[in-house]
Structure 1
Amino acid sequence: MEGAFAVLVLFVAMAVTSVHCQAGTRVGFYSRSCPRAESIVKSTVQAHFRSDPTVAPGLLRMHFHDCFKTAPPNRLLRGYDVIDDAKSQIEAACPGIVSCADILALAARDSVVVTRGISWQVPTGRRDGRISLASDTANLPGFTESVEAQKQKFLDKGLNTQDLVTLVGAHTIGTTACQIFKYRLYNFTTTTATGADPTIDATFIPQLRALCPENGDGARRVALDTGSPNRFDTSFFSNLRNGRGVLESDQKLWSDASTKAVVQRFLGVRGLLGLTFNVEFGRSMVKMSNIGVKTGTDGEIRKICSAIN
């Protein structure tokens, strides 16, 4: 998408460009022009979450990917209906004022809150882009990529190693498909007795194989955080320490010294300066969403999030 950053593993031809506290964006941007905007997004996310909890990780990933809707990495994303619902309600209250980009940024924050993470202030005032490019999904780190490759993709967008580890921590909620990681379980190597990826904890291999048989359904979903899959917490990082990261790219964060140090700080390892994951996640989200932001007269305010005006 024009000017947007794809970070992980979100919206589309809908829109956009994302946000930090930069010229043209500020906390409370709509306080006079559309004072109910944030509360409408919040209540919409809550309502959809009550009927389908999978929308929370879906919205969070949508904010990360923020690129062309039909590109391969985005075909399984969830939450478009939530954004459309919020947009419809906001348009009824204050037409032509609130961008789809801002609705998505607010919804991502509210998705963390409904999964028992903490809230943070989201600077608003973004405008929607007019171009969505499937080729931009090349910015997305792949699930087999080395830490160096992941770090470079983040660095290219102005995000550092701590941002990388922090934002990958979004995998504390949500699922992935067996077809994405099953190669790690069977014939990954001939040097181990199990034939599985040696970085996987030996006691975890039977559990994953039971969920994803070698000739089973590759579309079956498995929690990315098997410790507390529905709660936004540090269990994901504990999994990495214990060799229980589901994605190869995630587990590699423990084998690289620079990223391992950040994981340890989130886990409160003695002797290292501690970091509070929830707080740092909010900071990194704001930093990320500042990339390629459009403000002022750039872009547009879409009437419908799935199409340019």
Structure 2
Amino acid sequence: MSSSSALILFSSLLIFSLIYSQGNALSSNYYENTCPQVEDIVTQVVTEATKKDKTVAAALLRMHFHDCFIRGCDASVLLNSKKNTAEKDGPPNVSLHAFYVIDSAKNAIEARCPGIVSCADILAFAARDSVVVSGGPSWDVPKGRKDGRTSQASETIQLPAPTFNINQLQQSFSQRGLSLEDLVALSGGHTLGFSHCSSFNNRIHNFNNTHDVDPTLHPTLAATLKGICTLKNRAKNAGSPMDPSSTTFDNTYYKLILQNKSLFSSDQALLSNPKTKSLVTDFASSKDAFFKAFANSMIKMSSINGGQEVRKDCRVAN
């Protein structure tokens, strides 16, 4: 990792060191006096978990994103279903995993600093650490989020879908105060992980009345994906890595978009707008530019907050 990619982004700190969102003030030194070792604890837990399971990093990053886009970054995605079906059991979230990593970090923190650190902050730290251990940039996570008490599977329909076009993506992000640059930078999280067939089936089967396969999808990749994701007799967990280096945080994702080898319609859609296409080109040619933009946008996204409490158990409201 280059020194420029690993640095903590000072300019972002100036902007976001104190953020007010729905009444909750976030600051870079929120736990300085109450639980100064909190980030070290989370880093250790995440590092150990990713050593044992290479899929954990992508899972934690995706979990944080899915949390922030519903009710803000309030750890509502961690709540278990009880009388109602919770977010984690909504259709876009059923493939989320590695919740145990957050539980482990929470237990370790509660042993040191009981009742102080929110699950939402732990998830934000874990997402950052997942990027770092995968070779990506670091950043100073604003702290002081509160945990929400409400989690409804029906609200997961608000998550941006892999089938979205550029207008739908722009609307989804702008509703959360996120710009086109944030959209392109945060989409770079797709450099990590694995996708099930259901997220890109629309591109390889019955695409439209004229084409069976999306004509913007590279023919070689389309043939490979059709072989994996057949219409019949498909294995339950069939799918494809997001990119060839799917456990390394790099800018390969953007290079693939320019080669028409990205998986999702929402990835390909980034070429359909001059501004987003220009950003894709910039990030494909400069890993450092991508890393800086990604860290900035993660700080911005992770500062959307609306919780009310510090949960004792991340899976259950107090």
Give the TM-score taking structure 1 as reference length: 0.85
Picking from 264, 288, 312, the partner of 1:247 is 264
Q: Does residue 78 of structure 1 match 2:78? A: no
CA drift at 1:213: 2.7
Moved more, 60-69 or 89-98: 60-69
Provide the residue aligned with 1:219 in structure 2. 237
Number of aligned residues = 280
Q: CA deviation at 1:221?
A: 3.0
Pairwise mapping of residues 5-24 of structure 1 onto structure 2 (< 5 A)?
A: 21-23=18-20, 24=25
Structure-2 residue corresponding to 1:16: none
Structure 1 equivalent of residue 291 of structure 2: 278
2:255 to 217, 220, 238: 238
Match of 1:136 in 2: 155
Deviations along 1:35-85, whole A, 9 cap, x unmatched? Answer: 111000000001111111111111001101114222221111012100000
What CA distance in whole angstroms lies between the structure 2 residues aligned with 1:251 and 1:217? 26
CA separation of 1:146 and 1:132: change in aligned 2, threshold 3 A: same
Alignment of 1:44-123 (within 5 A): 44-66=45-67, 67=77, 68-123=87-142
The whole-number CA distance in structure 1 between the counterparts of 2:207 and 2:167 is 21
SS for the counterpart of 1:204 is helix
The Cα shift of 1:20 comes to 7.1
- The structure 2 residue matched to 1:302, chosen from 292, 308, 311, is 311
Unaligned runs of 5+ in 1: 1-18
Higher alpha-carbon deviation: 235-244 or 213-222: 213-222
Give 1:253-292 correspondences, 5 Å limit: 253-268=270-285, 276-292=289-305
Provide the secondary structure at the position in 2 that maps to 1:25: strand
- SS where residue 118 of structure 1 aligns? coil
The superposition leaves residues 72-115 of structure 1 with CA deviations (integer Å, 9 ceiling, x where unpaired) of 21111012100000000000011011110100000000000111
CA distance in 2, matches of 1:20, 1:101: 17
Q: Partner residue of 1:183? A: 202
The structure in which a higher percent of residues are helix is: 2
Asked if 1 retains the 8 angstrom alpha-carbon contact of 2:124 and 2:302, the reply is: yes
Report the 3-state secondary structure (helix = DSSP H, G, I; strand = E; otherwise coil) of the residue aligned with 2:240. Answer: strand
The more displaced of 34-43 and 214-223 is: 214-223
Q: Is the 8 A contact 1:20 1:290 kept in 2?
A: no
Deviation at 1:275, TM superposition (A): 6.7
The residue matched to 2:195 in structure 1 has which SS? strand
Tell whether the 8 Å contact from 1:100 to 1:301 is kept in structure 2 after alignment. Answer: yes
Aligned-partner SS, 2:312: coil
Q: Say which SS state the counterpart of residue 126 (structure 1) adopts.
A: coil
Determine the C-alpha separation between the residues in 1 that align with 2:111 and 2:127: 22
Name the SS of the counterpart of 2:143 in structure 1.
coil
- Structure 2 residue identity aligned to 1:220: A
Misfit runs of 4+, over 6 Å: none
Task: List runs of 5+ in structure 2 lacking aligned partners.
Answer: 1-15, 68-76, 78-86
